[in-house]
Amino acid sequence: MTPPKSTPAPPAPPGPVAAPSAASVDRPGVRNEGTPFDPGWIDEVRVNRSASERRAATVAPRRSVKKAHQAAWLARAVTLIDLTTLAGDDTPGRVRRLCAKARRPVRDDLLDALGLGDVGLTVGAVCVYPTMVPHAVAALEGSGVPVASVATGFPAGLTPMETRLAEVRWAVAEGAAEIDVVITRAHALRGDWRALHDEVRAFREACGEAHLKAILATGELGTLTRVGQASMVAMMAGADFVKTSTGKEPVNATLEVGLTMARAVRAYRERTGFRVGFKPAGGIRKAKEALAWLALMKDELGDPWLRAELFRFGASGLLGDIERQLEHHVTGRYAAAHRHPSA
């Protein structure tokens, strides 16, 4: 492969790419400012589950990529990973090892063989618990890799509001550039959308300059319509990303949920011009799953959502399988999984 001048962009598969309404004013690179609460926007959200499931089932078969094209897509996927450790037994040493992997996510010999040795490939971010933020910030100094922190009583989000806001402010003060907050699911389950809007807005204000990712815990919301409505409310409140899951629910990121949220992102962009990011998280462990998510983003939202500014994978085990597939592309052989540890 010829060495590119920058991080490789996946080749475009054939087929239409969704475009914003001609009437909208696109604002690339401008942070989502949010909008006043408007229940009319929420009432308009309706999702046909069976149609969504049929559409999601076509993504991987219709967008298959092979050989050099697949290697390029997988290299791009590496740059979109929020490399994550959210375990009860996390230690500073584990976080430092994870950060070392974030700096050099793919072995140098594989990158050289792919023609990517001079690209400076890194993951999108490292995601940790608030108390691990100082250790991650120190380990990533000078790398350009941001630190993301979960907050607001992750994963349940049922601590008092004052405590949740204090946790956000503390993580930001310690150097977190991105905050992954969990919403109060009860607001969505009851349809109390104004309460959800006010909650996410308060989190956004507590974040200051740090970017806000709103975790919807979609596996606990019951219906795709409610997922779409919760996505719209979070964006109206100023979320920079909407995220599927904490990774702790029985059902986490699925393609039909991703389709619903991507279309909510598109609808919000058409109304406001603001581009909001999307992050599927939980259960994405295989390279072929990453390819399906990239194909879905390209189909529904277009090329800008194939970059870390607007798309991330929340994952801990995905990187190892991607590196294993890249080694197969280079050598023609599959390596044992232990040859590609995450940390």
Catalytic residues: 180, 243, 279
CB 190 within 8 A of CB 149: no
H or E stretch at 54: helix 49-62
Coil, helix or strand at residue 294: helix
Q: Which of 83, 79, 148 lies closest to 343, judged by CA?
A: 83
Q: Which amino acid is at 228?
A: G
Among 275, 276, 277, 260, smallest CA distance to 313 is for: 277
**Can you count the helices (H) and strands (E) in the chain?**
13, 8
Tell me the three-class secondary structure of 162-196, residue by residue. HHHHHHHHHHHHCCCCEEEEECCHHHHHHCCHHHH
Comparing C-alpha atoms, which of 201, 144, 219, 211 is closest to residue 177? Answer: 211
Backbone angles phi, psi at 83, to 5 degrees: -70, 120
Spatial strand order of the sheet with 178-182 comes to: 277-279, 241-243, 211-215, 178-182, 147-151, 125-128, 81-84, 313-315
Look up tokens 């956000």; give the residue.
168
Number of C-beta neighbours around residue 62 at 10 A: 13
320 Cβ neighbours under 8 A, 6+ residues apart: 337, 340, 341, 342
Measured distance CA(207)–CA(210) in Å, rounded: 5
